[in-house]
Amino acid sequence: MTTQTETGALTQLGAHTPLPASPDQAVLERVPNPHAELAYCIRFAAPEFTSLCPLTGQPDFAHLVIDYVPGAWIVESKSLKLFLGSFRNHGSFHEACTLDIARRLVTLLDPAWLRIGGYWYPRGGIPIDVFYQTGTPPEGVWIPPQDVPGYRGRG
């Protein structure tokens, strides 16, 4: 796993970067939090996420929503996009995949707080959602609910 943390070395922003072949090969980058004096929350919604089932090799799809309260660093958003794209041909169970994304971001950013909601498309008629946060949200920071609609089948 390559983790780029020196901002002078941002290699992907403004260039045509090919999709990394796997999460390990993805270079997730960070830049200094430009507003480190303020406690605020950043949300990314990623409805274009796909990975592979490690048992069958069949595609899985998810809608991901990531919230975090930055500390000294914020994630560079193009590298985040490429990192999420790097799961495209990567086999991973729903729970592991969701949690691994969270942990990779936590390792890179050391945020005050982070959470991820993984809203997976149904398999066998039953979708799985995975909800993880690093702990009780910090006091005084505003973190709205994700409010992704539940799965309802048909009708």
Active site residues: 53, 60
4 binds, among Ca ion, a copy of itself, none (CB under 5 to 8 A by kind): none
Q: What is the DSSP letter of 6?
A: -
Kindly list the distances between the CA atom of residue 61 and the CA atoms of 27, 39, 99, in Å, as whole numbers in the listed order: 22, 33, 15
Nearer to a copy of itself, 5 or 123 (CB): 123
Contacts to Ca ion from residues 18-47, by CB under 5 A: none
Tell me how far, at minimum, the Cβ of 23 lies from a copy of itself, in Å.
15
Tell me how far, at minimum, the Cβ of 128 lies from a copy of itself, in Å.
6
Contacts to Ca ion from residues 130-149, by CB under 5 A: 147
CA–CA distance, 105 with 129 (Å, rounded to integer):
19
Which of 32, 54, 59, 122 touches Ca ion (CB under 5 A)?
122
Beta-carbon contacts of 30 under 8 Å, excluding residues fewer than 6 positions away, are 4, 5, 7, 73, 74, 75, 76, 108, 109
119 binds, among a copy of itself, Ca ion, none (CB under 5 to 8 A by kind): a copy of itself
Tell me how far, at minimum, the Cβ of 116 lies from Ca ion, in Å.
18
For residue 95, say whether it is annotated as part of any ligand binding site.
yes
Which residues are paired to 116 by β-bridges?
66, 132
Q: Which stretch binds Ca ion (CB under 5 A): 3-11, 54-62, 88-96, 122-130?
A: 122-130
Phi, psi of 30 (to 5 degrees): -130, 155
CA–CA distance, 92 with 64 (Å, rounded to integer):
15
Binding-site residue positions for substrate: 75-77, 94-95
Binding-site residue positions: 75-77, 94-95
